[in-house]
């Protein structure tokens, strides 16, 4: 893999990831843009009752929303039209978000374009290209985790207007948070309690249970296993784990990296077949869950800097557990519950965070096995 770093016209960083060492990426951004600022309207506040960190980013109200295909800012710069990507073609490209949810110095938000083809999807990528995306995710995790203010790195893809995507081009994002997220803090707390009570690792026991019961296993290879979780929140939800527990993408070994594109691409193709012929592409969120950068004491860097508003107190006060106990995994889910019907987060979910799932996990797993590639 070759990585080429450059700067956009407003000073934001852009990185090309190419499979060939000889790739040349020297096209300059010829747009006239005002210098990127530290986004002063972005702030992180802490909810005093829940301990949750909330990003306030009013400048995002003006971000690009559902442009026509011939005005897509994520396509390559071609035929006289200048975009966020100066090159006339690319394989995988990563750049700082023009409308970040987190401001510089208190986090970082990046966009990951998987392909120059506006009409493609992650599921349509070749295994080689999917492997290059994995390499880019890993490289960005390493670099962002090294920043002094970053506590957690989150790679994810939102796909489909139903999810809230405002740009149709195949892309994902990476958030480098200045705190440990509430969801990860809960996982670490549960892991610590399970370890204290049983002496065993919780992630290992979760995967072990699914492999033993088999009813919710969807897809498995030599190095990865995918299953619908026992208490799935969403109508169709799959968790993908490496068989060898690791805390983050950096710790995946060569065989797991080689097999990942085969498993993941098949899983995405099955998601598009869930609702039968004639159904539009399935909207989904694909989210990598990685261990915090600084271990269990989330927010340490922010406390030292005096930025207490950015600290997740639940993460700071929970039972201690080594980050090596965390299990890297990808969570894939859709908000569609049936053809033409969406799962809305209404009173119980939004008001009390108690999910009500209309599709039994065993039924969802059966359907996902049923639509396997021939």
pLDDT surpassing 90 at residue 308? no
The pLDDT score that the predictor gives to residue 291 is 98
How many beta carbons lie within 10 A of that of residue 125, not counting itself? 22
The pLDDT score that the predictor gives to residue 319 is 53
How many beta carbons lie within 10 A of that of residue 297, not counting itself? 16
Beta strands (DSSP E) in the chain are 2-7, 13-18, 42-46, 53-57, 92-96, 108-113, 152-159, 171-177, 217-220, 224-227, 236-242, 284-289, 329-334, 336-338, 341-342
Looking at per-residue pLDDT, the higher value among 175 and 300 belongs to 175
- Does the annotation mark 171 as catalytic? yes
The pLDDT score that the predictor gives to residue 97 is 94
**Structural domain spans, the chain:** 1-374
Query: pLDDT category, 128, cuts 50, 70, 90?
Result: very high
Distance CA 281, CA 278 (A): 9
Exactly one of 149, 169, 171, 289 is catalytic; name it. Answer: 171
pLDDT surpassing 80 at residue 15? yes
CATH superfamily ID and name for 1-374: HIT-like (3.30.428.10)
């Amino acid at each position: 893999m070759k990585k080429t770093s450059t700067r956009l016209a407003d000073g934001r960083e852009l990185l090309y990831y190419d499979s060939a060492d000889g790739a040349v990426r020297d096209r300059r951004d010829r747009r006239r843009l005002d210098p990127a600022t530290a986004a002063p309207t972005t702030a992180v506040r802490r909810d005093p009752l829940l301990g949750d960190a909330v990003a306030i980013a009013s400048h995002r109200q003006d971000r690009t929303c559902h442009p026509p295909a011939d005005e897509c800012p994520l396509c390559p710069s071609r035929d006289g039209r200048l975009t966020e990507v100066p090159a006339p073609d690319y394989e995988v490209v990563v750049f700082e978000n023009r409308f970040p949810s987190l401001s510089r110095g208190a986090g970082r938000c990046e966009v990951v374009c998987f392909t120059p083809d506006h009409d493609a999807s992650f599921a349509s990528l070749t295994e080689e290209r999917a492997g290059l995306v994995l390499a880019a995710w890993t490289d960005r995790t390493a670099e962002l985790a090294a920043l002094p203010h970053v506590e957690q790195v989150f790679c994810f893809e939102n796909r489909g207007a139903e999810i809230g995507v405002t740009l149709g081009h195949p892309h994902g994002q990476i958030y480098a948070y200045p705190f440990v997220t509430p969801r990860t803090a809960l996982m670490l707390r549960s892991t610590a309690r399970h370890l204290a009570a049983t002496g065993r690792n919780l992630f290992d026991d979760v995967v072990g249970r699914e492999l033993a019961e088999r009813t919710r296993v969807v897809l498995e290879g030599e190095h990865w296993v995918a299953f619908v979780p026992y208490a799935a929140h969403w109508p169709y939800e799959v968790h993908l784990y490496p068989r060898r527990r690791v805390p983050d993408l950096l710790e995946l070994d060569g065989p797991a990296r080689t097999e990942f594109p085969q498993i993941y691409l098949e899983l995405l193709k099955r998601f598009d077949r869930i609702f039968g012929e004639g159904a539009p592409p399935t909207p989904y969120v694909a989210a990598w869950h990685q261990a915090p950068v600084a271990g269990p004491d989330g927010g340490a860097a922010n406390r030292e800097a005096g930025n207490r508003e950015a600290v997740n107190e639940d993460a700071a006060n929970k039972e201690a557990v080594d980050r090596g106990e965390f299990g890297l995994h990808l969570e894939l889910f859709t908000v569609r519950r049936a053809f033409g019907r969406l799962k809305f987060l209404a009173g119980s979910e939004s008001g009390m965070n108690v999910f009500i799932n209309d599709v039994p996990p065993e039924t969802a797993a059966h359907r996902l096995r049923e639509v396997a590639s021939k």
